[in-house]
Amino acid sequence: MPYEQLDLSTPKPVLSWANHTLGQDETKMAKNVASLPFVFKHVALMPDVHLGKGALVGSVVATKAAIVPAAVGVDIGCGMAAIKTPFMADQLEGKLQQIRQDIEALIPVGFHENEAADTQVLHWQGWQDFKHLHTGVQHLEAKATKQMGSLGGGNHFIEVCVDEQDQVWLMLHSGSRHIGNVLAQRHIETAKELAKLAGEKLPDPDLAHFVQGTPEFEAYWRDLQWAQNYARVNREVMMARSKRVLAKHLANGQPFTPCLSVNCHHNYAEREVHFGEEVYVTRKGAVRAQQDDYGIIPGSMGAKSYIVKGKGKADSYCSCSHGAGRLMSRNKAKLNFTLEDLIQQTQGVECRKDEGVLDEIPGAYKPIDQVMANQSDLVEVVATLKQLVCVKG
């Protein structure tokens, strides 16, 4: 689907791949961002766009010489990892429940953390730089160490899936855990204080920003990169543990080599070159989709997910959606659906079926097929996955 330019009177245009009219609050949020003086060229909205904080989830914002920490968000580096295994679906027969239980035994979920860090965690080079992070997180090193290799809650998950050829995949979704959240909050607070001192009149306090070349900018950028790396390694640790579970059940405990591995952020910022200029690209709920980039676009529990390759569409800042996108808030989902609805909508999936995950019911999300149709110019589908096991916090 080609994008449409929204009919908004803003200094910079807003291009949308959503193929639907934004609500009043969403429109206001898009206008606020597109009115910032340092926004470059235009704002791009992905097909799964919905309300966020400061900036819309599912938005790509390129900026010149400035960055908005709240636009990146508090789960810095949140993203996806997936591997294609050499195993086939028939090898899973009769083993799904035990596989789920073994993954849950190895990987803490929700607010839980590891009792002790394993070798893979302790050998991460990033720990050497912890002392240089914001002073407000220095007391959290032990917690950050124990949380690496843990899933968290909300919409984070670990799944065993099969593709159209019945080949087995592992896929998971998680970010930078508590340490990333606190780092983000500390810097957001600083940005707001600076805006207040400068008497800036922002359309939204959450759009307070840092200017390139200032100590505050450099401190945020350093901590941002550290948290993004933490999130990536966190996914690697969980994937390694999930691989061990599959190897135990499908390969007599023998290690295996994945046929394909993907690990991508969808809440982050990087320096990139677009339209011939170096800019800061903030993807808030969006995946980089440069030419031949592999990406992951998950559906909800019980819906299809996609492994994709980017087409390098310039107008999207070489980006695509990060999932189906929420159709309704968590509270609204709990009011609109019952436990029976959850059981029915997750038929055939070995997963939790209790009221604790009712807000993650498939019906609370946009139809993934429509989301994919709306971005056919942004990505090509490499594999279509259907989950058989889903572990949630």
| Catalytically annotated residues | 322
- For 366, the token pair is 């946009």
Closest CA to 56 of 90, 1, 11, 16: 16
Nearest of 377, 380, 376, 375 to residue 46 by alpha carbon: 375
Identify the CA nearest to 19 among candidates 310, 380, 391, 366: 366
CA 67 to the chain's CA centroid: 19
State the alpha helices, DSSP H only, in the chain.
24-34, 69-72, 96-106, 119-122, 141-147, 177-198, 215-250, 330-336, 339-345, 368-373
Amino acid symbol at 353:
K
Which residues belong to the annotated binding site for GMP? 155-159, 266-267, 298-301, 305, 322-325, 392
**Residue matched to tokens 């860090």:** 117
Tell me the C-alpha distance between 26 and 24, whole Å.
5
